[in-house]
Chains A and B, each alone.
Chain A
Amino acid sequence: MTMLDIRNVTKRFGSLVAVNDVSMRVEAGELRAIIGPNGAGKTTFFNMISGFFAPSAGDIVFGGTTVTKLAVTERVAMGMARTFQITEIFPELTVRENIRIGVESALGFRQRFWLGKRQVAGVDRGIEEALTHTGLTGQADRLVGELSHGDQRAAEIATALTLKPRLLLLDEPTAGMGEHETYAVANLIRRLHKNSAYTIVLIEHDMRVVFNLADKITVLGEGKMLAEGTPAEIAGNPVVQEAYLGKAE
């Protein structure tokens, strides 16, 4: 089953064409990596998928429904979740409260002024689940703003997971991390993919992470699609090597 079907999307900012006629299909359960040099249009592409802004042309179909013009909250309600290159969390709340807000939103309690005992228990169960899933149980009552970079990222992913998303979008999950943290986050993503069968699309700079994790890789360059294929195919692709791997490193 196709989870995400992107059909010929283009995004123009004035005279600049940030993304130019790109198409991509992601199957359910797949882990797709999007790579490309700086300015390739990766984040713009991501922003269109998640609903930050609408494309200038083309269509985005998510789980069989066209979502091209839907607002962020509507896409979230359909099962799309995302994290950001610069971690977006609630820094002055504890890990538990961060996750609680996600769980309550996912359970449709957003506008409730009161919860019954059973509902509270359900929320608490969701929180514990997300904590164990991401290995944050020990940090649950610390303020997120005080955690290490890697744990902040884990907390962000944990919060996004509370939505039980059908599609998880991760924008540079290991950006700015050291060796050790990168390893931990990559491991977390692998578990989510292998053990929990999440469909994941991620943008990533770290090639070891990409080639280790991804089922398929999409390469963007100057807003255009350069190549698409399995890690092995991409590694051997001369166009990619010239346009990206050769130039960047």
Chain B
Amino acid sequence: MTAATVSPNTQTGTARPWLTAAIVWALLLTVPFWLPMLGGYTALAARVLVFGLAAMSFNLLLGFTGVMSFGHAAYFGLGAYGAGLTLKYIAASTPLAILAGILLGGLAGTLFGLFIVRRRGVYFAMVTVAFGQIAFYVAYSWDSLTGGYDGLRGFSRAPLHLGPLTLDIVNNDKIFYYFLLAVFAIATGLQGLLLASPFGRTLLAIRENERRARFLGIPVERHIWMSFSISCCFTALAGALYALLNNFADPMGLHYSLSGEIVIMAVMGGMRAFWGPLAGAALFVILQDTISSMTVNWMSFVGLIFVLVVLFFPRGMLGIFQKGTGK
């Protein structure tokens, strides 16, 4: 509930930030109790959390810094591989795996960011895609380490030891869900704090008007780079959690088509709202799950979601609650 208490007043006066946060947390905390009644399963809720975190982390850039990354799958995937490789080759420790995932994705993002931050608009997007594919390519071709096309298998998340207490996140779906939720709470709490901080406000400044930001003494490129790097760390965390969820890391988790899906989650939920990307991720994951169980042509439907959102729903689910001049 960290995030509820720091829910940032970052965007254009969300109608009632407290109310949104309260609803979000009430829903997330009670998922395992009502989801089965609606015919869902806990792993689905876990996927919503993971992709929600990825989309919210990505949205630090799109929604709150105003730059477009279309390569964020790379950092998500690197997080997954970092966690998977650690569990497989180094130690059966879940916290260590998460840390390694964050480190791998975060460092890659920090390094690539150096080349990316001078671009703007669609060129920023283009260069992020190209850099993202480097990670895809490495994971895909480094067969001996990563399992190549088939993905990385043969690892499993390890039980969590908290002093005398052992949490069985391996076999108990519900406990694992609440473990994910705790990590999610810490991560989004930190994001909330970040956006409410002076540094976070400089990012909004850059989004709103880069020239004015510069003329207020804000070193724009450096701040975009920092934002990119932070966003990549959080996205990598989401990727690490994804590897724990599936006990599997997949090269398609690095592919740019996943980057596009992360972008559409953020936009569909409302990129100017703090919780928007989570709402978008929930809808997207559930739609994808439903559609892919009904037809093999689910890709067309996913594509259709993209087109419909762009044409008819550009401000997203939570966007309609916001005021602002709108564009």
Report which A residues bind B (CB closer than 8 A).
Answer: 50, 72-73, 76-77, 81-82, 84, 88-94, 97, 100-102, 104-106, 109-115, 143, 145-146, 156, 159-160, 162-163
Contact = CB atoms under 8 A, between A and B. Distances in A.
A76 B198 contact: no
B205 interface: yes
B8 to A, nearest CB: 12
Contact of B198 (A73, A110, A156, A162): A110
B216 A101 contact: yes
B175 to A, nearest CB: 32
Given A76-B217, A143-B325, A159-B216, A113 B208 contact: no
B40 interface: no
Which 4 A/B pairs are nearest by Cβ-Cβ distance?
Answer: A90-B208, A76-B217, A109-B198, A145-B325
Contacts of B214: 72-73, 76
Residue among B198, B202, B214, B323 with the most chain A CB within 10 A? B198
A50 B202 CA distance: 21
B218 A110 contact: yes
Contacts of A113: 193-194, 197-200
B33 interface: no
A73 B204 contact: no
B216 A105 contact: yes
A88 B198 contact: no
B290 interface: no
B198 A115 contact: yes
B174 interface: no
Contacts of A89: 208-209, 212
B211 A84 contact: yes
Interface string B181-217: 0000000000001100111111011001101111111
A88 B209 contact: yes
Interface of B: 11-13, 193-194, 197-202, 204-205, 208-209, 211-219, 223, 226, 323-325
Contacts of B205: 90, 101
Residue among A110, A111, A156 with the most chain B CB within 10 A? A110
A91 B197 contact: no
B197 A114 contact: yes
B199 A88 contact: no
Contacts of A115: 197-198
Contacts of B12: 92-93, 143
B209 A100 contact: no
Contacts of B194: 113
B217 A93 contact: no
B186 to A, nearest CB: 15
A202 to B, nearest CB: 16
A156 B211 CA distance: 12
B208 A93 contact: yes
A94 B218 CA distance: 19
A93 B12 CA distance: 6
Given A90-B208, A143-B323, A163-B217, 5 more contacts: A73-B214, A88-B209, A104-B201, A109-B198, A111-B199
